Amino acid sequence: MKNVLITGGAGFIGSNYVRLALQTHLDWNVVVFDKLTYAGNPDNLTDIAKDFKGRYSFVRGDIADREAVFGAVQDNNIDIIINFAADTHVDRSLMEPGAFITTDVYGTFVLLEAAKEFKVSRYHQISTDEVYGDIDEPNRSREEDRLHGSSPYSASKAGGDLMCLAYFRSFNVPVTITRGTNNIGPYQYPEKVVPVFVTNAIDNLPLPMYGDGRQMRDYQYVLDHCEGIDVVVNKGVPGEVYNVGSGVETRNIDVAHAILGLLGKPHSLIQPITDRPGHDRRYAIDNSKVRALGWTPSHTFAQAIEKTVKWYVDNEWWWRKIKTGEYLDYYRKQYAGREVSAK
Ligand code: NAD
Ligand code: DAU
């Protein structure tokens, strides 16, 4: 059996990955290590705790806490560390950058120290295409491109990536990194654009569209991303970075139209608002390196958005209780007074 520490496993992508890993790796024991911030949600793991009793356990802890991390790695005799834990929302990083530096840079350093001390066989870092900054058409970001983060979030993630590569070069820690594009699918906290738009549209509330809505992102289905991560964890070469994404970009305005079309709601729900400061115009990646390991995405954008919308329609129990209290305070702070008239 292999003992695998999955940090940030109570979040959106982490919980989807934990489910996939336990289904596909029958020789894995998984320990989820998570601080349970506002984005960490035990509901994301309820079925896993039931279905995989015996091969799954949970530790509440902070990746920036050396004692807690070292204790979890030592006590569970960990062979592999996969780090999903991060502060992840660009807009929150513009409001409170400090937490991003603590978790995404310092927390990564603490995990790397544990990987080095306990000689794990693999340390895998979940990173993002945002570290490249935006890129003009028709170019695509490649793994060797320079890092050029535009927000405190992407700069912190870039710092984490550089620390991982330094621990490979200086200390031979067997590190791999994946840089994923925008994920959509089940259990995404309703602060990211797709769950904000879908849950607002269900309730006939405005869809807040930043700027002209022509920014482009590579929206991939979360399970495609998880499969790409898994291929790299198992077949990737230490010291290497792999982009993971569909390779197809969609404008935000077209995402909104697709959601409203699927829900049968009027396009008049789209509410233009003032833009995000430093807003990256276009992300686009070259995914040929991960494809060469045998990975290929299974969902088109149309399939991914349809499955995603259906999940939110079918799982109001999950998101309605989130959209209360702290969330409403955040929403007001983030969006109040930004409305502009449509052109
Ligand atoms: P999320 O915000 O849904 O979840 C983050 C998880 O990390 C939560 O469970 C939270 O409790 C936990 N966490 C935060 N700080 C922690 C700390 N100090 N110690 C321990 N746990 C902590 O995030 P997500 O969208 O699932 O993203 C997961 C990873 O994937 C992140 O590293 C993110 O940068 C990366 N990523 C995300 C996307 C995307 O589209 N969401 C795309 C590419 C890469
Ligand atoms: O590219 C990968 C990254 O994708 C991940 O590393 C991040 O963790 C994840 O948050 C995401 O970052 P983005 O900033 O691209 O995602 P977000 O959902 O916040 O925004 C997507 C696009 O939609 C972006 O162009 C801004 C726009 N937007 C966003 C929100 C929240 C809106 O128009 N309205 C909104 O209300």
Ligand 1 pocket residue status of 149, Cβ below 6 Å: no
340 in any annotated domain: no
Ligand 1 pocket residue status of 8, Cβ below 6 Å: yes
**179 and 261 fall within a common domain:** no
Question: Cα separation of 38 and 326, whole Å?
Answer: 8
**207 and 150 fall within a common domain:** no
**How many contiguous H segments (helices) and E segments (strands) does the chain have?**
14, 13
pLDDT of residue 341: 77
Mutate to test the pocket of ligand 2, among 252, 273, 274 (most ligand atoms within 8 A of CB): 252
Mutate to test the pocket of ligand 1, among 84, 87, 92, 187 (most ligand atoms within 8 A of CB): 84
**147 and 47 fall within a common domain:** yes
Strand bridging mode 270-273 / 220-221: unpaired
89 in any annotated domain: yes
Length of the chain: 343
Question: Cα separation of 221 and 183, whole Å?
Answer: 6
In 3-state terms, what secondary structure has residue 39? coil
Average pLDDT value for residue range 328-333: 97
Q: pLDDT > 70: what percent of the chain?
A: 99
Q: Does the pLDDT value for residue 343 go beyond 70?
A: no
The residue segments making up the domain with residue 254 are 193-216+249-278+301-333
**147 and 228 fall within a common domain:** yes
**108 and 226 fall within a common domain:** yes
Which is the closest atom of ligand 1 to the Cα of 10? 9
When pLDDT is cut at 50, 70 and 90, the band that residue 183 belongs to is: very high
233 in any annotated domain: yes
Question: Cα separation of 332 and 41, whole Å?
Answer: 22
Distance 87 CA to ligand 2 centre (A): 13
Q: How many structural domains does the chain have?
A: 2
Ligand 2 pocket residue status of 55, Cβ below 6 Å: no
Question: Cα separation of 122 and 275, whole Å?
Answer: 40
Closest CA to 295 of 155, 152, 178: 178
**What CATH number should be reported for the domain holding residue 101?**
3.40.50.720
**What CATH number should be reported for the domain holding residue 269?**
3.90.25.10
The catalytic residues are 129-130, 153
Ligand 2 pocket residue status of 209, Cβ below 6 Å: yes
**175 and 27 fall within a common domain:** yes
Ligand sitting nearest the alpha carbon of 34 = 1
Structure tokens at 101: 């530096």
Q: Does the pLDDT value for residue 143 go beyond 80?
A: yes
38 in any annotated domain: yes
Strand bridging mode 183-184 / 220-221: parallel
pLDDT of residue 87: 98
pLDDT of residue 342: 59
DSSP 102: I
Q: Does the pLDDT value for residue 49 go beyond 70?
A: yes
When pLDDT is cut at 50, 70 and 90, the band that residue 128 belongs to is: very high
3-state secondary structure 222-235: HHHHHHHHHHHHHH
Q: pLDDT > 90: what percent of the chain?
A: 99
Ligand sitting nearest the alpha carbon of 187 = 1
Q: Does the pLDDT value for residue 190 go beyond 60?
A: yes
286 in any annotated domain: no
147 in any annotated domain: yes
Ligand sitting nearest the alpha carbon of 8 = 1
**106 and 255 fall within a common domain:** no
Which is the closest atom of ligand 2 to the Cα of 217? 15
**61 and 198 fall within a common domain:** no
Average pLDDT value for residue range 153-167: 98
Question: Cα separation of 222 and 226, whole Å?
Answer: 6
**92 and 212 fall within a common domain:** no
**240 and 307 fall within a common domain:** no
Distance 342 CA to ligand 2 centre (A): 21
- Per residue in 237-274, pLDDT (tens digit) is 999 999 999 999 999 999 999 999 999 999 999 999 99
pLDDT of residue 168: 99
342 in any annotated domain: no
Q: Does the pLDDT value for residue 131 go beyond 80?
A: yes
**46 and 70 fall within a common domain:** yes
Distance 191 CA to ligand 2 centre (A): 9
Distance 241 CA to ligand 1 centre (A): 19
In 3-state terms, what secondary structure has residue 58? strand
Ligand 2 pocket residue status of 161, Cβ below 6 Å: no
Ligand 1 pocket residue status of 183, Cβ below 6 Å: yes
**122 and 208 fall within a common domain:** no
Ligand 2 pocket residue status of 193, Cβ below 6 Å: yes
Ligand 1 pocket residue status of 11, Cβ below 6 Å: yes
pLDDT of residue 64: 99
When pLDDT is cut at 50, 70 and 90, the band that residue 193 belongs to is: very high
338 in any annotated domain: no
